[in-house]
Copies of this chain bind each other. A is one copy, B any other.
Amino acid sequence: MPETVSNALVTARREFVDLWGQMANHWGINRTMAQIHALLMISPEPLTAEQIMEDLQISRGNVSMNLRDLINWGIVRRTSIPGDRRDFFTTEADVWSMFQIILRERKKRELDPLLTRLDECLVHVGKKSETADEKASHEVFVKRVTELRDFFNTFHRLASTLLDSQPGSLAKAVKMIDKIM
User: Of B15, B27, B158, which one neighbours A120 at CB under 8 angstroms?
Assistant: B15
Copies of this chain: 2
With CB as the reference atom, state the residue of chain B lying closest to A116. B19
Contact present for A180 and B174 (CB under 8 Å): no
Known A-B contacts A125-B8, A144-B42, A177-B169; the reply to A114 vs B2 at CB < 8 A is no
Majority DSSP secondary structure for residues of A touching B: helix
| A172, chain B: closest CB distance, angstroms | 6
What B residues does A139 contact at CB under 8 A?
44
A154 at the interface (CB under 8 A from B): yes
What B residues does A8 contact at CB under 8 A?
124-126
Q: Which residues of A contact B (CB under 8 A)?
A: 1-2, 4-6, 8-9, 11-13, 15-16, 19, 23, 25-29, 41-44, 93, 95-96, 99, 106, 109-110, 114, 117-118, 120-122, 124-126, 129-131, 133-134, 136-141, 144-145, 147-148, 150-151, 154, 157-158, 161-162, 164-166, 169-174, 176-178, 180-181
If A9-B134, A44-B139 are given as contacts, then 19 extra A-B residue pairs at C-beta distance below 8 Å, sorted by A number, are A1-B137, A2-B133, A6-B130, A6-B134, A9-B125, A11-B124, A13-B141, A16-B145, A27-B27, A41-B148, A43-B140, A44-B140, A95-B148, A95-B151, A154-B170, A157-B178, A161-B174, A161-B178, A165-B177
